[in-house]
């Protein structure tokens, strides 16, 4: 099973600033990596798939990069609605698909 | 856009069977290949449970494989989850989702508590 590790656990950022979230895989997942946003009491929302492709309706301030074992989600200018928990997930080759433990983006 | 809605008992007794259904609307279940279940324990992260192809092939999380089954009912445009021999550790919000590996459409989730 591929283990996904996210850092930091919590990121304190002021509105308008940039947020950079990291995700590391225990072995290569190529570009088969998704990012989700989850607000309290809601289902996760797909933000990025294929490591760098924005999902439908996702603003351009969200960008994803990386391949292999190291990935980054960048939010260029944080808006109030962006404060949430973000999860990465790998879906390379064969199941089980695995998630990271999440990064909480909170208001500084 | 595809809508998904989970339903089922919110309380299951220990050693019993958790049974949930995910109703799909806005599209035929045969229009997309894979349908999945994901769960989230209170205050915790996300755990992939398993997935089913619309024709019936399925994949399961090895940690749950001995206790879980997922089925599809095309006539009702829905798919279902059964988890046997549950314990308190199975208390979670259960989500159904469309896809395999990355999920664009999710149900709202349903909380299932395992308790006597």
Instruction: Please choose, from the candidates B104, B83, B99, B106, the residue with its C-alpha nearest in 3D space to the C-alpha of residue B12.
Output: B83
Are A96 and B62 within 8 A, CB to CB? yes
Strand partners, B22: B6, B79
> Do the beta carbons of residue B98 and residue B35 sit within 8 Å?
yes
Closest CA to B97 of B28, B41, B49: B49
From CA A95, how far away is CA B31, in angstroms rounded? 22
Which residues of chain B approach chain A closer than 8 Å at the C-beta?
Answer: 38, 45-48, 50-51, 59-63, 95, 100-104, 106-109
Q: Indicate the pLDDT class of residue A63, thresholds 50, 70 and 90.
A: very high
Each residue's pLDDT tens digit, A64-100: 999 999 999 999 999 999 999 999 999 998 999 999 9
The two structure tokens encoding residue B42: 């209170």
Quick one: pLDDT band at residue B46, thresholds 50, 70, 90?
Answer: very high
B54 pLDDT above the threshold of 90: no
How confident is the model at residue B67, as a pLDDT? Answer: 97
Assigned token pair, B62: 């090895």
Which candidate, A93, A102, A88, places its Cα nearest to that of A28? A93
pLDDT, average across residues B5-34: 96
Residue B56 has pLDDT above 90, yes or no: no
Confidence of residue B43 (pLDDT cuts 50, 70, 90): confident
The residue ranking higher by pLDDT, B8 or B42, is B8
Q: Whole-angstrom Cα distance, residue A12 to residue B24?
A: 38
Q: Which two tokens stand for residue B27?
A: 């599209």
Q: For residue B1, what pLDDT is reported?
A: 83
Average pLDDT value for chain B = 96
Quick check: A44 and B100 CB within 8 A? no
d(CA A81, CA B30): 35
Chain A residue whose CA is closest to B46: A99
Q: Can you read off the two tokens belonging to residue A8?
A: 């930091």
Is there a contact between A71 and A78 (Cβ–Cβ < 8 Å)? no
Q: What distance in Å separates the CA atoms of residue A108 and residue A90, rounded to the nearest whole number?
A: 29
């Amino acid at each position: 099973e591929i283990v996904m590790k996210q850092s930091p656990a919590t990121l304190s950022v002021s509105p308008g600033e940039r947020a950079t979230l990291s995700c590391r895989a225990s072995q290569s997942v190529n570009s088969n990596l998704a990012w989700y946003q989850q607000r309290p009491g809601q289902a996760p929302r797909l933000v990025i798939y294929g490591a760098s492709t924005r999902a439908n309706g996702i603003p351009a301030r969200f960008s994803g990069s990386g391949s292999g074992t190291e990935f980054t989600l960048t939010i260029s200018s944080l808006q109030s609605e962006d404060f949430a928990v973000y999860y990465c997930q790998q879906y390379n080759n064969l199941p089980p698909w695995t998630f990271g433990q999440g990064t909480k983006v909170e208001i500084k | 856009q595809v809508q998904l809605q989970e339903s089922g008992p919110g309380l299951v007794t220990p050693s019993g069977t958790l049974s949930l259904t995910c109703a799909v609307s806005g599209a035929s279940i045969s229009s997309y290949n894979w349908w999945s279940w994901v769960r989230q324990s209170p205050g915790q992260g996300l755990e992939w449970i398993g997935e089913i192809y619309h024709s019936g092939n399925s994949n399961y999380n090895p940690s749950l494989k001995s206790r879980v089954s997922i089925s599809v009912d095309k006539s009702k445009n829905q798919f279902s989850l059964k988890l046997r021999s549950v314990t308190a550790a199975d208390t979670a919000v259960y989500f159904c989702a469309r896809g395999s590996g990355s999920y664009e459409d999710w149900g709202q989730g349903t909380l299932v508590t395992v308790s006597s």
